[in-house]
Amino acid sequence: MPSPCLSGPYMQLRLCLAICAVLLASGAGGGTAVAGPAVSDDEVEALVAYARLYGYVRWFHPSDEGAVVDWERLAVLGAAEARRARTASDLQTALEDVFQPIAPTLALRPVGSGNVGWPSNQPELGARVTYWQHRGVKLGSRPSPYISRRVIVGGESKERKPLFEGSPLAVPILFVALNRDLEARLPLVLPVDQANRTSGTLAASFPALQERLATCEYVKGDLNDPAVRVAGVTILWNVMQHFFPYHAEAGIDWIAQLRPALRTALEAETPDGYRDGLCRLVARLQDGHGVFFAEMGEHPTVHEHVQTAGGLPIRVAMVGERIVVTAVRETAPFVPGDVVVSVSGVPAREVLAAREELVSGSPQLRRYRALNRFGQGPVGATLDVAVERDGVRLTIPVTLEADQRGYFSNGMQEFELPTFAEVSPGYFTSISRPAPRRNTRHISTNWRRPGA
């Protein structure tokens, strides 16, 4: 049975998605070991089924219940329930308990059921129907060019008019294998009444689910909770599965990334190890727009680990095959031209390669960002940086301080540029910034000329 990534009439993408993992599972926590025993293949397989079903129901089943449920809490609750399942039958029951209050006509059955029919509870479609349309994906409340809407066709609804042309009515039901054990049937189109409701009342089991979610004991961002870790991977993987537009161009089998991502999330020894796993997952996309934000504020700092992002007081560059210091922060005991040999005993090139694994993008962008964040680690950690200076090897202990480097920016300047330069007698141009209005007429005139 195929494993579809829904597209066509369901979604339309504007340019490339700006990819950022704005996840509930990105909270505080640094170096405390939290991992349990090795995760079994059966547990991973159960979580694969849960994660895939979560994405289909959340973004493609247009029920009224799905429009109001707390999807972040449900991601955690569902992960916990799936982890408890010991058999395929247990898993089917757990998934039905979590998702059927939102999608009453969802049906699950064992893979290979053959002639065993599906339940006869498919909705009958009338003249007015609803389905999801997506222009990209919008997560959270931040302003975004992306929009999702449960559109209605077959009758006027100004608030829910289609976002673009195209209809899924030709294939209104999804049939998909969720893992090696279970397959699902999920309606993608539902009838609506004149009040624009998918049913006269919400599913009878929905209030009970809402009560379970309200009492679900989890702390947002608590990476000591395995269910929160699984929820983070589930949301991230599904966003990229259904909304990243270039899997084929990049040659990525994204479905194959889910199992190792879930295993890595549960087996990571520290919260930072878990975050590194999320970074590596995004990096598989090889797209420079892909950035993992550990925390998203009004003005987000682009740190993989915003809570523990300490940096070395140097800026480095590749010179030939060597990593060379090109700028130094204030009174740090380095000098430009120092060749970095190792960091706490790890060869400098290995330190760089490990950082490159966390960066999504072209080889050039990965190298640039890895150099920019070379030696990053927890604030307060002490590293022994071995350098060669004038043929002599030195070991310099450094305590990492809070770092302010961003996606491209680095406050340590390698050299100073003059503010203005005379390009011809009497004509000047700004080297470092556009000429302000208060400057001389010659500067203002020159700024308007091509090439100035």
Give tens-digit pLDDT for 84-128. Answer: 999 999 999 999 999 999 999 999 999 988 777 788 878 888 889
CB 85 within 8 A of CB 225: no
The count of C-alpha atoms lying within 13 angstroms of the C-alpha of 367, restricted to the half-sphere facing its C-beta, is: 9
CB-CB neighbours of 39 under 10 Å: 18
CB 400 within 8 A of CB 358: no
> Six-digit token pair at 365?
């962008």
d(CA 130, CA 190): 5
Q: Please report where in the chains the tokens 């006869």 appear, as a residue.
A: 120
Question: Nearest-CA neighbor of 41 among 259, 274, 280, 281?
Answer: 259
Query: Quick one: pLDDT at residue 125?
Result: 87
> Six-digit token pair at 396?
């310099």
CB-CB neighbours of 250 under 10 Å: 12
The pTM score is 0.83
CB 238 within 8 A of CB 5: no
Q: What is the pLDDT along the chain (452 residues), one digit of tens a residue?
A: 445 666 656 655 433 333 444 444 455 455 554 555 689 999 999 999 999 999 999 999 999 999 999 999 999 999 999 999 999 999 999 999 999 999 999 999 999 887 777 888 788 888 899 999 999 888 877 788 889 999 999 887 888 999 988 878 788 999 999 999 999 999 999 999 988 999 755 668 999 999 999 988 776 667 888 999 999 999 999 999 999 989 998 899 999 999 999 999 999 998 888 988 999 999 999 998 887 765 444 333 444 544 457 889 999 999 999 999 999 988 899 999 999 999 999 999 999 999 999 999 999 999 999 999 899 888 889 999 999 999 999 999 999 988 777 767 787 888 776 677 777 887 777 765 554 544 444 444 444 444 44
CA distances from 337 to 201, 231, 325, 387 (A): 72, 46, 5, 10
CATH number of 310-402: 2.30.42.10
Query: Domain residues of the chain, as ranges?
Result: 8-283, 310-402, 417-452
Q: Please report where in the chains the tokens 């397989």 appear, as a residue.
A: 45
Question: Nearest-CA neighbor of 423 among 413, 435, 415, 414?
Answer: 435
Question: Nearest-CA neighbor of 335 among 405, 396, 409, 253?
Answer: 396
Backbone angles phi, psi at 63, to 5 degrees: -80, 160
Query: Quick one: pLDDT at residue 18?
Result: 39
CB 72 within 8 A of CB 231: yes
